[in-house]
Structure 1
Amino acid sequence: MTTTLHLIPVGLGDSAPDRWLPQAAQEITAQLRYFIAENAKSARAFLKLIGTQVPLQDITIHTLKADSTPQDIRAWLDAVPADQDLGLVSEAGCPAVADPGSLVVAQAHARGMRVLPWTGPSSIMLGLMASGLQGQRFAFHGYAPVKAHERDTQLRAWESVSHKQQQTQILIETPYRNQAMFDALLQTLRDTTRVCIASALTCPDESIQTRTVAQWRKAGAPDFDKKPTLFLFLAS
């Protein structure tokens, strides 16, 4: 039998699993005894939310750290019995998308394992879908530089690419720096550039708004304090 690596999405915030994870994926997750996760504690909280068919203390969770080596990952995969499957979970959203889980997926392919992605929430895709910006051409950049002058230079460079290629630019920020990023976008980008701010996606306090830079200056910042937020923009 071929071991399957299940790529299992995790919720983006405080909302019921039935809203963001198919029932079939929940049922598979409940059966698994082996997992790889960025954080074992949060992975256990996720499994407790889903419900498991075996006690949590009998489930093996390997922690994927910044210093985890390909040898570590291969050892975790090889330790799974031939009649068992395993799951890969992220801290939030879809594993292996803006996430180090891609290292695990690469090793699974190298070992001839079946890789099965399950449908679930990706803040990148949800934000893009709801932004009204260019969905045919887009780029996800992760985090912008932290230092102000480097960040502003990078934002201008991304805006130039956006204008030339009509490509939506997508980035994230640490929640406590949302206001700083919002201010940088308004100070750096052109008045006519459209900016979407998508916060707390899939959660009860979800907010998705798209305005031009000039309109955002008049409206002021949305309620995104300490909330996971996605920033998207498209230069006209």
Structure 2
Amino acid sequence: MPTPISDDEDTLKHLPNYNLEILKTIRYFVVENTRTARRFISKCHLGMVIDDLEFVELNEHTESKDVEDMLKPILAGENCVIMSEAGVPAIADPGAELVAVAHRKNVRVIPLVGPSSIIMSLMASGMNGQSFAFNGYLPIKSGDRAKRLRELTKIATSYNQSQIFIEAPYRNEQLVATILETLPANMRLTIAINISAHSEQIKTLKIEEWRKTDMSSYSLRKNTAIFVIGL
């Protein structure tokens, strides 16, 4: 089940009512972070008693051997919701491993509609939506990062394939600096900040245009951003 990707007070407007109808029937949750999940459920005002619900965490600290155990309540007849901290689970977030086990055990898996910053950034980019790739985080070291950007540029230009990637907020400015130093002038770059929030900023320009742009008007340092490059 997708969860909101912004902290705005009216953020629930981005979730279909159908999701909330499903949510209030669930008692077993596999979540990336229990505190975040409990807060989200409380914010939905569905009359659910939070302390009556069962939460199991699935995140980067979870060992593979423990994932199959998470399926036991489901095999016993309990419905389950998988939730990440924000956005769509199992895509650039935990969940895929449990879904894979569910398929092996012949458990029905139902994806629900909701906000995905990856897809929404591509939608708003004006770049190729027929062929694209999500590349996660780029290398931290500047030399390795520049090398990876050159590789992605080659793929983007050779196959007209949009390349999507993300970075931790505190490294956004370094990433943008490397992009502007590394990519050819005619390559396009989309910067999508705080998607779905009131403070949302989304802009696509050629690299040569970005180099002339006052970046101080883009709140990169403390906010979540998605980057898309392409022709």
Q: Normalization by structure 1: what TM-score?
A: 0.92
1:103 to 97, 101, 118: 97
Greater shift in the superposed pair: 54-63 or 190-199: 54-63
Once residues 177 and 88 of structure 2 are traced to their aligned partners in structure 1, the CA distance between those partners, rounded to angstroms, is 29
Once residues 27 and 213 of structure 1 are traced to their aligned partners in structure 2, the CA distance between those partners, rounded to angstroms, is 45
1:12 to 5, 9, 12: 5
- Residue 132 of structure 1 corresponds to 126
- Residue 217 of structure 1 corresponds to 211
- Residue 190 of structure 1 corresponds to 184
**Structure 1 moving runs of 4+ over 6 Å:** none
Percent of pairs with identical residues: 36
On the 8 A contact 1:93/1:123 being kept in 2, the answer is yes
- Residue 3 of structure 1 corresponds to none
Is it true that 1:233 corresponds to 2:191 in the alignment?
no
| CA shift in 2, pair 1:33/1:81, >3 Å | farther
Query: How far 1:82 moved relative to its partner?
Result: 4.0
- 1:167-205 Cα offsets, whole Å, 9 max, x none, are 111000001111111111100000111000000000000
- 1:55-105 Cα offsets, whole Å, 9 max, x none, are 111111101132423442222221247443110001111111112210111
Once residues 221 and 24 of structure 2 are traced to their aligned partners in structure 1, the CA distance between those partners, rounded to angstroms, is 34
Query: How far 1:114 moved relative to its partner?
Result: 1.1
- Residue 117 of structure 1 corresponds to 111
1:151 is matched by which residue type in structure 2? R
- 1:137-179 Cα offsets, whole Å, 9 max, x none, are 1110000000000000000111011111011110000011111
1:45 is matched by which residue type in structure 2? R
- Residue 31 of structure 1 corresponds to 25
Is it true that 1:86 corresponds to 2:80 in the alignment?
yes
1:118 is matched by which residue type in structure 2? L
On the 8 A contact 1:30/1:51 being kept in 2, the answer is no
2:119 is matched by which residue type in structure 1? M
1:163 is matched by which residue type in structure 2? T
Q: How does 1:44-193 map to 2 (within 5 A)?
A: 44-80=38-74, 82-193=76-187
Once residues 144 and 130 of structure 2 are traced to their aligned partners in structure 1, the CA distance between those partners, rounded to angstroms, is 28
Once residues 62 and 116 of structure 1 are traced to their aligned partners in structure 2, the CA distance between those partners, rounded to angstroms, is 19
Task: Tell me the SS of whatever aligns to 2:199.
Answer: coil
Q: Normalization by structure 2: what TM-score?
A: 0.94
Once residues 179 and 228 of structure 2 are traced to their aligned partners in structure 1, the CA distance between those partners, rounded to angstroms, is 10
| CA shift in 2, pair 1:131/1:230, >3 Å | same
Query: How far 1:219 moved relative to its partner?
Result: 1.1
2:220 is matched by which residue type in structure 1? F
On the 8 A contact 1:31/1:54 being kept in 2, the answer is no
Query: How far 1:18 moved relative to its partner?
Result: 3.8
Task: Tell me the SS of whatever aligns to 2:94.
Answer: coil
Task: Tell me the SS of whatever aligns to 1:115.
Answer: coil
1:231 is matched by which residue type in structure 2? F
- State the superposition RMSD in angstroms: 1.4
Once residues 219 and 65 of structure 1 are traced to their aligned partners in structure 2, the CA distance between those partners, rounded to angstroms, is 38
- Residue 34 of structure 2 corresponds to 40
Structure 2 stretches of 5 or more lacking a match? none
Structure 1 stretches of 5 or more lacking a match? 1-7
